[in-house]
Amino acid sequence: MKKSVAFLVALVLSIAIAAPGSAVDSAITSVKKVTVNTSSGYSADNAQVLSLSNGGTLVSWVDQQDMDTTYLRTKLVSATNKVGKVLTLTSSAAFSSRVGDSYPQLVVNKEGKLFAAWIQRTTEDNVVLDKVVGRTSTNGTTWSKLFDVTSTLPVTAEMCDQATTADCGFTKLQAAIDDTGRVGVLVGSAPSDGVIEYKVSATSNTANWPALNLLSSLEDQKASEIVGLTSGFAVSYTDYLSNDSCSIKVALYDGETSEWGPTMTAKNLNENTVINSKWIQRSSKTLTLVSSAEAVGGIVLRHYSLARKTWAGNGRIVWVGEASIVFQKIRLATQGWQIAIGYITYNQTNGVSQARILVQKTVTGSFTHKVLQSGEGGILPVSAGFNKSGNAFFAYLLGGTQLATLSGSSTPKLLPGLVEIAQIQDLDVSATDLVTALDVTYNDDKTTITLIKGKLK
């Protein structure tokens, strides 16, 4: 999850005035707070928790030294809450030309295998060069030697609209790992001023990465993702076609053939608006693309058959747009055939935001919809998921970190943190309802990362 400067702004907005009936009870029991790291200044962007196969938790964060220089740091917390040493995965400083869009990446699959990737900028013979490099691990303690993910990309000022190379070269980096352990990246680069190229690569042999595969050239760099599947990868991104239209583009990597398929258009809109889209795998043969456009509103689902390699219809509107309501960020989760869609709306007339949830039991079934909480100001989504009883939940920032479960009254409850008003940056809930959450506080020029453990009520 991106946290950077945008997160700080949203975090301030999230300390909003909640509507009557706001949560006062804790969402978890048997709370254990583990101090993971303390450092001077603000130095914990993109903080996350990653669950490992040995029962431990790997905590990671990006330590930003200045606008372009970052380090990817981790600490291992054992199942018995023993805290390891800080490990800096970036052997030398990573480069992040557009802050959050090109931050170092760390991802984990269901088997606990880890993949870290970042942009490395060097200068040779007065030529600035960008290259994506990476490392892998199976336990969070022992990591592979550094390997090249891409070839070098020469960087010149002519590639962007600035007089320096600060905002040129690789402008986006996203990483993923599938359930087989295959790793993949989505990168953006600027071959010339006003042009962004999205490219992808994937491999099961990190010592021999194939050349980057071009998806398309864009006029602007906006939301995108690469997701690891049971076998293979799914990519989605927004393409602004002109001043009055945009589209969602997608591409898939076939784990059986080890090849990228063609770039496809999943949705066209005759609007110049922000689109939120996310892939999620419903079964070994079915993918679902969930999308929402801020200007149009509503939630749309479109299914893709991995077996037939084709779309199943043109898409289904599962929640229609509403006058003056902007549909914003989306969080997804599945359990069996169930899907949970947690999302945020903003009322442009009265300034009220809402945290909402949509839940579907089967691929063709009806949806249950509920408004979980309203508040003045902004709401920032954290995570969606299911508890062991099969009830969907949605966690979000609103006057602290709220967690609401779609059962009974669905009253939101607060997640605890180091301080009373916790700003949880990442959250994981196991199949047995064990919660690991990451609270990052900044006070008196000091950043404290705290791992919160407990059990869902």
**Rounded-to-integer distance, Cα 17 and Cα 9, Å:** 16
Ramachandran quadrant class, 408 (left: phi over 0; alpha: psi -120 to 50; beta: rest): left
End-to-end C-alpha distance for the chain, whole angstroms: 25
Q: What pLDDT, on the 0 to 100 scale, is given for residue 221?
A: 82
Within 13 Å of residue 52, how many CA atoms lie on the same side as its CB?
A: 20
**Rounded-to-integer distance, Cα 438 and Cα 451, Å:** 5
Q: For the chain, state the CA radius of gyration.
A: 21
Q: From 78, 82, 99, select the one nearest 3 (Cα to Cα).
A: 99
3-state secondary structure of 42: coil
**Rounded-to-integer distance, Cα 297 and Cα 281, Å:** 23
> pLDDT tens digits, the chain, 457 residues: what are they?
344 434 443 444 344 444 434 445 899 999 999 999 998 877 788 899 999 988 899 999 998 766 677 899 999 999 999 999 999 998 788 887 766 688 999 999 999 999 999 999 988 888 889 999 999 999 999 999 999 999 999 888 777 766 677 778 898 999 999 999 999 999 999 887 778 899 999 999 999 999 999 999 988 888 899 999 999 999 999 998 767 788 999 999 999 999 999 999 999 888 878 888 999 999 999 999 999 988 788 999 999 999 999 999 889 999 999 999 999 899 999 999 999 999 999 999 999 999 999 999 888 889 999 999 999 988 999 999 999 999 999 999 998 999 999 987 789 999 998 877 788 999 999 999 999 999 999 888 889 999 999 999 8
**Spatial CB neighbours of 204, under 8 Å, sequence gap ≥ 6:** 180, 181, 182, 183, 258
Task: Give 3-state DSSP helix, strand, coil % of the chain, rounded to 5.
Answer: 5, 60, 40
**Rounded-to-integer distance, Cα 46 and Cα 90, Å:** 15
Within 13 Å of residue 246, how many CA atoms lie on the same side as its CB?
A: 24
**Rounded-to-integer distance, Cα 448 and Cα 457, Å:** 26
- Give the phi and the psi of residue 377 in degrees, each rounded to 5: 100, -155
The token pair at 140 is 């969070």
Topology, domain 4-38+156-456: Methylamine Dehydrogenase; Chain H (2.130.10)
Q: Is 376 exposed, middle or buried (0-12, 13-18, 19+ CB in 10 A)?
A: middle
Q: What pLDDT, on the 0 to 100 scale, is given for residue 163?
A: 66
Q: Which residues pair with 148 in a beta bridge?
A: 133
- Give the phi and the psi of residue 10 in degrees, each rounded to 5: -65, -35
- 28-40 and 380-386 as β-strands: parallel, antiparallel, unpaired? unpaired
**Rounded-to-integer distance, Cα 24 and Cα 415, Å:** 10
Query: To 10 degrees, the CA torsion angle through 200, 203, 206, 209?
Result: -50
Q: Token match 């592979």: residue?
A: 144
**Rounded-to-integer distance, Cα 149 and Cα 132, Å:** 5
CB 168 within 8 A of CB 159: yes
Q: Token match 């980057």: residue?
A: 212
Tell me which amino acid residue 273 is: T
- DSSP assignment letter at 110: T
The token pair at 242 is 């002109």
Give me the residue spans of the domains in the chain.
Answer: 4-38+156-456
Q: What pLDDT, on the 0 to 100 scale, is given for residue 377?
A: 80
**Rounded-to-integer distance, Cα 57 and Cα 48, Å:** 10
